[in-house]
Amino acid sequence: MERLLVVAPYAVVPPRYGGPLRVYNLCRELSRSFRVAQFAQQVQRRNLAPRLDPVISQVTPTYQEYSSRSILSTGLYALTSLKWGAPPVWQDAVLRIAAPAWLRQQIACADVIHVEHPWQFAWVYRQSRGRVPIILGTQNDEAGLYDDALLHAPKPIIRRIRQAIAHQEHFAVTHASHIITCSPEDAATLAARYGVSPDLFTVVPNGVDCQFFRPVESALREQRKLELGITGKHVVLFAGSSHQPNIEAVEQIIALAQHWPDPATYFLIVGTVGNAFPHVQHPMLHFTGSVDSTKPYFEAADMALNPMLSGSGTNLKQLEFMAMGLPVLTTPIGVRGLAVTDNEHAFIRALSDFPSQLRSMQAKPQMCVQVGHAARRLVEQQFDWPAIADHLAQVYRMHMHNSVSGQ
């Protein structure tokens, strides 16, 4: 089997949200045809410990994750990401100081390298010395995403962070053998900003595990509500990490809940996004915080909201809601980059129309059932991870072939 090295900023095993979910599912499916070694520059919080041995996870017989346990990386992550809300622009510098021998060995024997996000790209590029193709995986238009409002640091530091983001993204886009984006919009934006050919881009959308996220019968939904202590409630779901666009979306849900007239409606906010609202208390709102699995909460839901106001790439939670067969009320940004038709696969509305549309959805359950069924069919046909991984494998093999032919 050919050897694929995937370099990521974060650990993805077990996957819990957004970017790690994408990397995990692609690596797992790609391991059917590649021997996948995946490097993570920092461990998950549950694996933080005062020792330096790595965390090694064997996901499949041909997919292994190596998570580096570094005191320096952990400290920088706490300062820049947790305190300032910045991406890990320091990772290239840390690799220059103390890259694990395991990573150097994997670079030396890889047939193709995939670097997810631009933060580690320059170091990997220098180490590989042009020996094999390096594919850049992007999940966002990073320079466009991180504006001053998204960063919580003194202004001189914000300026330096934004300069580092632009510099690292520019280097990665202009030196990659090929660039993967989640949406056509991101591909067009990056090509125009950095003056590279659109031919260097391939759109590989986000996907969903259709075997894991499945519609449930009403009996299981009521059982989950009983377990959560919300029997008799009409559960309206949102899920997300503490990423700033998710925080903005939850602010809209809080405003909606505070003026919602029906006490039987229960707004359920799943995931670490809830940690941003420790003082919000309302009888119709519940924040779970971090959970081991979102599935029981998804199985309790009657419908979902996705009031995203910013962000780039495509939205994983939207696909998960649809895979569950849930009717989803979303803003246009919530379905960016997805072939979702209004009133057929989801209800796409401006934020100002959310209250009236939610009332309509609650009053017309059969309409919601039909939309939920259509949404499930769409993700089965276009967004199941195995088919998406096969498309990405074709990109790898094309560049591997071109690399061998050019030698």
pLDDT in tens, 124-180: 999 999 999 999 999 999 999 888 888 889 999 999 999 999 999 999 999 999 999
The DSSP line for 54-118 is: PEEEEEETTEEEEE---HHHHHHHIIIIIIT----TTHHHHHHHH--HHHHHHHHH-SEEEEESS
Work out how many domains the chain is built from and give that number: 2
Asked if 222 and 97 sit in the same domain, the reply is: no
Q: Which residues pair with 115 in a beta bridge?
A: 7, 136
Asked if 200 and 325 sit in the same domain, the reply is: no
Q: Which residues pair with 289 in a beta bridge?
A: 271
For the chain, residues with pLDDT lower than 70 are 404-407
| Rounded Cα gap, residues 4 and 20, in angstroms | 17
Tokens of 116: 């997810």
Q: Supply the Cα-derived Rg of the chain in whole angstroms.
A: 21
As to burial, measured by CB atoms within 10 angstroms (0-12 exposed, 13-18 middle, 19+ buried), residue 102 is middle
* Predicted pLDDT at 78: 86
* Predicted pLDDT at 404: 57
Asked if 144 and 250 sit in the same domain, the reply is: no
Asked if 266 and 157 sit in the same domain, the reply is: no
- Residues whose CB falls within 8 Å of the CB of residue 73, separated by 6 or more in sequence, listed in order: 41, 42, 91, 94
Specify the CATH number for the domain of residue 83: 3.40.50.2000
The domain in which residue 135 lies consists of: 2-207+385-405
Asked if 310 and 326 sit in the same domain, the reply is: yes
Asked if 85 and 170 sit in the same domain, the reply is: yes
* Predicted pLDDT at 152: 87
Summary mean pLDDT of the chain: 94
Residue 157 lies in a domain: yes
Asked if 352 and 390 sit in the same domain, the reply is: no
Asked if 135 and 257 sit in the same domain, the reply is: no
Asked if 103 and 235 sit in the same domain, the reply is: no
* Predicted pLDDT at 97: 94
* Predicted pLDDT at 234: 97
| Rounded Cα gap, residues 9 and 348, in angstroms | 33
Asked if 242 and 158 sit in the same domain, the reply is: no
- Residues whose CB falls within 8 Å of the CB of residue 357, separated by 6 or more in sequence, listed in order: 329, 347, 349
Residue 212 lies in a domain: no
